[in-house]
Chains A and B, each alone.
Chain A
Amino acid sequence: MFRVVGQIVAMAAVGALIWWLLSNLSTNLNRAGIGTDFGFLTRPTQFTIPYFTTFNARSPVWQMVLVGVKNTLLAGFIGVLIASLVGLVIGIARLSTNWLAARLATVFVEFFRNIPPLVVIIFFGAAVFTFGPLPILGEATEIKIPGSSNNLLLLSNDRWGIPGLAAQGNVGAYLIVFALGVVVAVGMWIWRTRVNVNTGAPHHRLLWSLGAMALFGIVGYLLLGGPFVIEWPSLSENRRVIASGFAMNWGFMALTGALGLYTASHIAEIIRGSIQAVPKGQTEASSALALNGFQRYRFVVLPQALRIAVPPIINQYLNLVKNTSLGLAVAYAELAALTSTSIANGRPAVQSIVVMMAVYLTFSLTISLILNIVNRRLELVTR
C-alpha cells in the first residue's frame, strides 16, 4: 500500500514540477512574442562561418548544425588520437626503470591533470597562436623538404599548411579497389587464424593481411594511372590563403592539442594503474615459462591490463568529446560555438539549446553503447 502511494506521490510531484516549469516557460515566451516551433531550422542563419566557404549567410540553420556536428566529431576524433598516443607513451614511461623518464612522465601527468582544460585551450589559442611568436599568414614560415623547393609545413599564427592529397580523377574507382583490398585482408586474417588453430602452424596473420592490403593499394594505384598525388602546402599568389595542401585553422589546433594533452594525462594514469593491477604472479609465471620481455608484455601482461584499462579509457574519450564544446573559447566552429553564435543572432534560445543537447546526448549514448558492448566482450568468463 505504502509503496504504491509513495510512487504515485513521487510521480505527481515530479510531474507537477515539470508542468510548472513548462507552463511558466510557455507563458513567458508568449508574452515576449517568441515562438516555440522548430521552423527556424529551415530559415537562413544570416552569418558566415570563418574558413567555411561553402557555407554562407543564406544557408539554413540545420546546415549550420551539420557543420557543427562535423567539426565536433573531427576535433573529437583527432583529439582522441593525440590523447591515446601521448597517454600510452606517458603511461608506459611512468613505469620505466629509467628514473628520469619516470619522473618527467609524473610531472606531465600531475601538471595537466590539475589545471582546467579551458586554461590549456586558451593558452594554446592566445599564447601560441593569436599573440604568440608565429608570423602572420602572409609571412608564414616555410619549412622546406631538404633538397627540394616544396614546402613540408607552412606555419603562421592563423593557419598551418600540411601536405595533402589531390585527386587526379579515378579516385572513386581507386576507393573501390582499396575497399576490395580491405575485404581480402580480413579474409586472409580469418584464413590464417583457422590454419593456426587447425594445424598449429605459425599464423603470421598481420603480415598476410597487410601484404594483401598493400598489394591491392599499389597495383590499383599503378593500374589506374595515379588517381591522386601528394600536394605540398603553398600560399596563393596574393599570400592571403593557403592555396594547396591541407590547411588547419588555429582554433582546431588549439582545441585538439590542448584536449589531447589534458586527456592524455588521465589516460596515462589509467594505463599505469592497469599495468600495475596485473598480479605479480602473472609476470613471474611467464618468466618461469622462459618468455622474454617482449613476449611477457605482449601475451601475458598487456592483454590482462587492457581488460582493466579499456572501459575507463572509453569514458575518457566520452569526456573528450564533451569537452570539445570548449572550442567556443578559441572560435572553433563546433556545435556549442555555432549554437551560441546563432542564439546571439536572434534564433530562439530554447529550441537551439534543445537541438544542441540532443546531439550531445546522441554522442554520449552511442559511446555508452559501445562501452557496454566492449564491457560484455571483456567480461571474464568464469566457471
Chain B
Amino acid sequence: MTAAAERAPAVPKGSALAWIKERLFRNFWSGVLSVVLIAILAYAGYRVVLFVFVNGRWEAVSRNLTNFMVGRFPRGEIWRLVAQMTLLGLALGVAAGTASGSARDRAAEAGLQYDPPSLAGTLRRFWSLIAFVLVLLAMTTTVGPWLVAAAVVILGYAGWQSWRLPRSLRMVSWVTTALLLLASFQVVSGTDGRAWVPVALVVAAASWLGVPVERLQARLRRVVSLAAVTVAAAVVFGVYSVIGAPGVGWDNWSGMNLTLWWSAIVIVLAFPIGVLLALARRSTLPTLRYLATTYIELIRGVPLITLLFMGQFILGFMLPAGTNLSSISRSIAAGTLFTAAYVAEIVRGGLQSLPPGQAEAGQALGMGTPAITRKIVLPQALRAVIPAMVGQFISLFKDSSLLFIIGVTEFLAVRGIAHAQPDFRVIAHAETLVFVAVGYWAIAFAMSRESQRLERKLGVGER
C-alpha cells in the first residue's frame, strides 16, 4: 500500500536530486507509479496545449463574451453595470480595509505585532479569480473592459485605505459598505416599483445600530431607536417616491451577472429564515420544534430541481389570481425555500457547538431567554458557522446552474445563445463548456480557499 497517514519527512533544501529520489522514487512501486504518471501527464499536457493554443475554436467564446457576462441585458443600459462594478469595487475595498483596521486594533489591544495583508498575499489568495479576469480581458477586442477593470482596482485600493481610519469611524465604514452594496444593486435595478423596501430595511437596520443611544435610559433608548428606524424608512420611501428612476429589473438580467446576483439575493433572503428555523428547531416549545423539523427534513429530502419545478408550475397557482411573477422571481422564491433549510441545519450546528454554560451564565445574570439568544448565543453561534455558510454559498452558486433547466438564461444557459448562431451550431461545444466550467471554478475555488482561511483564522473546531 502506497498510502501513509503521515507526510514524507522534510528534505534539506537545495538538493533537487535528493528531493526527486525521496518524493518520487522512494521505493520500487513508488518509482513505477511515478514513471506511469509522468507518461500520462506528458501526453495529457500535450493534448491540453494542443486544444488550448492550436485546435480550440475559441471564437465561439470570444465573440460571445458580452453574452456570457450579461446575456440579454439591454445593450444601451450597459453603463449601469459599469457603474455597479465600480461601486462594488469601492464597497469591497472599504469592507476589506475596515476588517483590516479592526484586526489591527485587536492586535494592538492584545499587544501583538500586526502584519497588514500584503499585495503578494492577496494575489495568491485570489489567483484563480484574477487569472479568470485576465483571460476575459485577453479575449476582449475593445479597450472598455480594461478601463472598467482598472477603475475597479483603483477604487478598491482607495477603499482599502479606510484601514487608516480611527476606530470611532469603524461602524460608519461598515454602514458605508452596506449602502454602497445597495447603491450598486439599485443603479441597475432602478428605483421604481418596490425597490425602496430592501433599501429601507438596510437603512433602518443601519440607523438602529448606528444611533448613539448608549447614555440614555433603557426605556428612552428603545423609543429613540424605534423612532430612528421609522424615520429612516420613511425618508427612504419619500426619496424613492420623488426620484422614481426606472432601471433594468432582475427579470431582464442574465449571464454571469444573473448567476452572481441570484446566489447573493437567495442567500441574503434565506439567512434570516434559516436562523429562525434553527432557533425554532432548538426551541423548548414542541409545536415550533415539530413544525421546523418537518419543514427542514421535507425540503432536504427532495432535489432542488423539484422545488424549481414547483416554483415554475405551482407557485403561480398558489398566489391570488392576477399576481404575475417572472420565472426569475419564482426561482428566487424556490431557491430561498431550499437554502433556508440548509442554512437552518448549519446554524443548528453552531448552536449545538456552544457550551451550555454560556446560556446558564446569562440566566445567572437575570437575563430573559430572548436577550440571552440575541446577545450571547447567536453572536457566538453565527461566528462559528461562518466557514460553513461560505460553503453553503458556494454550493448555492454551483446550484444556480440548475436555472438552465427551467429556461432561465444564466451563465451556463448562455451557451444556448452562442450555439444558436449559424457559425457555432455543431462545433465548439467543448470550448464553450470548458470556458463555463473554468468560470464557475475560478469563483468557487477562490471562495472555498477563503472559507478554509476563515476556518483557520477563527479556529473553528479547536475550542
Task: State the A residues within 8 Å of B (CB).
Answer: 3, 6-7, 10-11, 14, 21-22, 24-25, 27-29, 31-32, 92-93, 95-101, 104, 110-111, 113-120, 122-123, 126-127, 130-132, 275-276, 278, 280, 283, 293-294, 297, 301, 322-323, 325-326, 328-329, 336, 339-340, 343, 349-350, 353, 356-357, 360-361, 364-365, 368
Contact = CB atoms under 8 A, between A and B. Distances in A.
Contact of B305 (A25, A104, A122, A325): A325
A22 B100 CA distance: 51
A335 to B, nearest CB: 9
B94 to A, nearest CB: 28
Given A115-B444, A119-B412, A25 B317 contact: yes
B302 A98 contact: no
Contacts of B314: 25, 349-350, 353
Contact of A7 (B285, B412, B430, B437): B285
B445 interface: yes
Interface string B1-34: 1111111100000000000000110100010011
A25 B316 CA distance: 9
Contact of A10 (B287, B400, B429, B430): B287
5 contacts: A114-B441, A120-B437, A328-B405, A353-B314, A357-B302
A12 B402 CA distance: 35
A100 B305 CA distance: 39
B318 A25 contact: yes
A104 B37 contact: yes
Contacts of B245: none
Nearest to B440: A115
B41 interface: yes
Contacts of A131: 426-427, 429-430
B279 interface: no
Query: Which of B33, B286, B400, B437 gathers the greatest number of chain A CB atoms within 10 Å?
Result: B437
Contacts of A353: 306, 309-310, 313-314
B17 to A, nearest CB: 14
B401 A119 contact: yes
Given A98-B23, A350-B313, A365-B301, A10 B288 contact: yes
- Tell me the interface secondary structure of chain B in the complex: helix
Contacts of B427: 131
Interface of B: 1-8, 23-24, 26, 30, 33-34, 37-38, 41, 284-288, 291, 298, 300-303, 305-306, 309-310, 313-314, 316-321, 394, 398-402, 404-405, 412, 426-427, 429-430, 433-434, 436-437, 440-441, 444-445, 448
Given A122-B412, A126-B430, A361-B302, 18 more contacts: A3-B285, A28-B318, A95-B5, A98-B37, A100-B23, A104-B37, A114-B394, A115-B440, A116-B398, A116-B399, A116-B401, A123-B434, A280-B5, A301-B5, A325-B306, A349-B314, A360-B302, A364-B300
Contact of A116 (B26, B316, B412, B445): B412
A92 B24 CA distance: 16
B439 to A, nearest CB: 9
B229 to A, nearest CB: 24
Nearest to A348: B313
A99 B402 contact: no
A358 B316 CA distance: 21
Contact of B4 (A29, A97, A115): A97
B358 to A, nearest CB: 23
A356 B309 CA distance: 10
Contacts of A118: 401-402, 404-405, 412
Given A24-B318, A365-B301, A99 B23 contact: yes
Contact of A276 (B5, B288, B317): B5
A111 B441 contact: yes
B5 A283 contact: yes
A126 B3 CA distance: 37
A122 B433 contact: yes
A104 B38 CA distance: 11
Nearest to A121: B401
Contact of A127 (B288, B394, B433): B433
B309 A123 contact: no
B456 to A, nearest CB: 15
Contacts of A339: 309
Contacts of A98: 2, 23-24, 26, 30, 33-34, 37
Given A111-B441, A127-B429, A104 B41 contact: yes
Contacts of A93: 2-3
A114 B448 contact: yes
B5 A275 contact: yes
Query: Which of B33, B41, B300, B301 gathers the greatest number of chain A CB atoms within 10 Å?
Result: B301
B440 A28 contact: no
A307 to B, nearest CB: 15
Nearest to A279: B5
Given A95-B5, A329-B405, A100 B34 contact: yes
B445 A114 contact: yes
Contacts of B34: 98, 100-101
Contacts of A21: 318
A31 B306 CA distance: 25
Query: Which of B8, B287, B306, B399 gathers the greatest number of chain A CB atoms within 10 Å?
Result: B306
Contacts of B448: 113-114
Given A117-B398, A122-B412, A350-B317, A97 B430 contact: no
Given A122-B412, A353-B313, A280 B298 contact: no
Nearest to A329: B405
Contacts of A325: 303, 305-306
A14 B291 CA distance: 9
Contacts of B305: 325-326, 328, 336
A114 B440 contact: yes
B440 A343 contact: no
B310 A24 contact: no
B362 to A, nearest CB: 19
Contact of B302 (A130, A278, A294, A322): A322
Contact of B321 (A27, A99, A323, A328): A27
Contact of A336 (B287, B301, B306, B401): B306
Contacts of B398: 114-117
A7 B303 contact: no
A110 B319 CA distance: 43
Nearest to B319: A24
Query: Which of B309, B319, B427 gathers the greatest number of chain A CB atoms within 10 Å?
Result: B309
Contacts of B321: 24, 27-28, 31
A36 B437 CA distance: 42
Given A11-B287, A127-B430, A275-B3, A119 B437 contact: yes
Contacts of A95: 3-5
Nearest to B404: A118
B320 A24 contact: yes
Contacts of B4: 95-97
Nearest to A97: B8
Nearest to A117: B398
Nearest to B402: A118
A136 to B, nearest CB: 13
A128 to B, nearest CB: 8
